[in-house]
Amino acid sequence: MTSFAQRCGLHDAARAAAVDRVARQVAASGLELVRVAWCDLHGVTRGKTLVAAGTRRALDEGVGMVSTLMLKDTSDRTAFKVFEPGGTASLPGFGQANNLLLLPDPDSFRQLPWTPATGWLRAQPWFQDGRPVPLDTRHVLQDALAKLDAAGYAMRCGLEVEFHIYRITDEAPQLDSELAAWPGLPPAVQLVHPGYNLLAEGWYDQAEEPLRIVQTTAQALGLPLASLEIELGPSQVEAVFDVTDALTAADNMVLFRSAVRQSLRRAGYHATFMCRPPFPNIMSSGWHLHQSLVDKATGVNAFLRELPADGSTDADASHTLSAVGEQYLAGLLAHARGMAVFCTPTVNGFGRFRPNALAPQSVLWGRDNRGAMLRVIGGCGDAATRIENRIGEPAANPYLYFASQIHAGLDGILRGLSAPPATDAPYGEANAKLPTTLGEALDALRDDPALIEGFGGAFCDYFTQVKRSELARHDQAEDKTDFMRREYFSRF
């Protein structure tokens, strides 16, 4: 009898060896529990915790998961009428809260450092007949990477992630049964540093206890953490990660956010990757995505240019980027408005796009310009030449964020687009502005046929319906700050 992993087409000698290795490791380490985790549409990990003896069976046969988990908005309300006739007609394979199967990846196995005798496995959902679920966001990125591979390229990514850490002063608002609501309140908190003293060593020392927890957690999980920094805003910090391939970088971001929140919570801290926490005098957090392509045939950075193009100036992309790099840059610009909703997917995140705030406002690129949406870094002969996209918020689903870059940039390459001159006035007048609301961003995606083709119309319709549910509840909320506090600060 074949296993579920075999019916999914995943079973081979390498996977069988990895399953054996995990089973031995679980036994040798004396683990009692193993968490099987999956990343949902909003970048949040969900899953089931198994007793250790069930690990091998889970790796071979999967773990049941109710399909409505894929249909939730940010409040955990189901955005489709799954029990009504035709309620999931646009979602083949879904309906009546049927079961999917989470199949863990044995190569993802880790032992969690903040909780005793517990292992962890990353999983993806499959239909019970062995077909992958195309709405799964990791599958969406895998599909985008396959298209990039067919064009002869691989993607490399480095991450700069800003977020906030607070000390919990009272858990009652979140845990008091009399205050329970859907969604509920976060705990009461205070700052870990007062802010407005960028990179101050004294502020780092003041916040060292929680930052040490971030450091030891990331390193124990094998994440390529490079540095921890004090950002400008009160209680705001930044983590920087070394470059990896795109899928690994996305996986690392999902694990980092989840692990940091859990490990800090056990020590009495509340970490949030919400862009703009619901307090006065805060600074927005961004997620700056450094990206380049590798030529698969040569292994060389495909953005690298040895010499400036003849007759070019500093304002020309061809002065620094290869022809492929310029085309990719032009694709990101051409689809900036359409891809914005995958980079900044919450109502809250659009409050970041303000003038002179080190956040973009317009569809522009600049050479080492932190006010522009796209910052080109490097120069001729520099193997680290890359493009930094500064549009993202730290709550974004990394699989969708990265996939949007691939579809946009690849369209630029396939159409041979040219980039306009670089800006030296990122907050001046511009022909195209970034969306300023979630609704405008969803409309921009609807009006971008290349992105809809890249992601697939069915996925874009699904994504839009879930996000419209979130937007509708925000628009109906009498107290918008309270909505942000419950919807994002408590959960992201």
DSSP one-letter string for 396-459? S-HHHHHHHHHHHHHHHHHHT--PPPPPS-TTS--S-BPPSSHHHHHHHHHT-HHHHHHH-HHH
Q: 353 falls in which pLDDT band (50, 70, 90)?
A: confident
- Position 223 scores a pLDDT of 98
Owner of token pair 């529990």: 33
Mean pLDDT of all residues in the chain?
Answer: 95
- Position 358 scores a pLDDT of 79
Query: Quick one: three-class SS letters along 6-57?
Result: HHCCCCCHHHHHHHHHHHHHHHHCCCCEEEEEEECCCCCEEEEEEEHHHHHH
Residue 354 pLDDT > 90: no
Q: Any alpha helices (H) in 54-184, and if so which ranges?
A: 55-61, 137-150, 172-175
pLDDT in tens, 126-161: 999 999 999 999 999 999 999 999 999 999 999 999
Domains belonging to the chain, first-starting first, are 4-131 (3.10.20.70), 146-489 (3.30.590.10)
Specify the higher pLDDT residue, 188 or 354. 188
- Position 409 scores a pLDDT of 98
| Cα 4 to chain centroid, rounded | 29
pLDDT in tens, 255-299: 999 999 999 999 999 999 999 999 999 999 999 999 999 999 999
Q: 196 falls in which pLDDT band (50, 70, 90)?
A: very high
If one counts every other C-beta atom within 10 angstroms of the C-beta of residue 383, the result is: 11
- Position 119 scores a pLDDT of 98
Q: 359 falls in which pLDDT band (50, 70, 90)?
A: confident
Percent of the chain with pLDDT over 90: 92
Name the nearest CA neighbour of 56 among 12, 99, 24. Answer: 24
What residues contact 206, with CB distance under 8 A and at least 6 apart?
Answer: 192, 193
Q: What is the mean pLDDT of residues 309-332?
A: 94
DSSP string of 212-272?
Answer: HHHHHHHHHTT--EEEEEE-SSTTEEEEEEEEEEHHHHHHHHHHHHHHHHHHHHHTTEEEE
**Collapsed DSSP state (helix, strand, coil) of residue 318:** helix
pLDDT in tens, 46-88: 999 999 999 999 999 999 999 999 999 999 999 999 999 999 9
pLDDT in tens, 209-261: 999 999 999 999 999 999 999 999 999 999 999 999 999 999 999 999 999 99
Bridge-based pairing state of the strands 63-66 and 287-295:
unpaired
pLDDT in tens, 91-102: 999 999 999 999
Q: 103 falls in which pLDDT band (50, 70, 90)?
A: very high
Query: Is residue 79 packed enough to be buried (19+ CB in 10 Å), middle (13-18) or exposed (0-12)?
Result: buried
- Position 222 scores a pLDDT of 97
- Name the token pair of 115: 């909780």
Residue 1 pLDDT > 80: no
pLDDT in tens, 367-399: 988 889 999 999 899 999 999 999 999 999 999
pLDDT in tens, 462-471: 999 999 999 9
Q: What is the mean pLDDT of residues 191-203?
A: 95
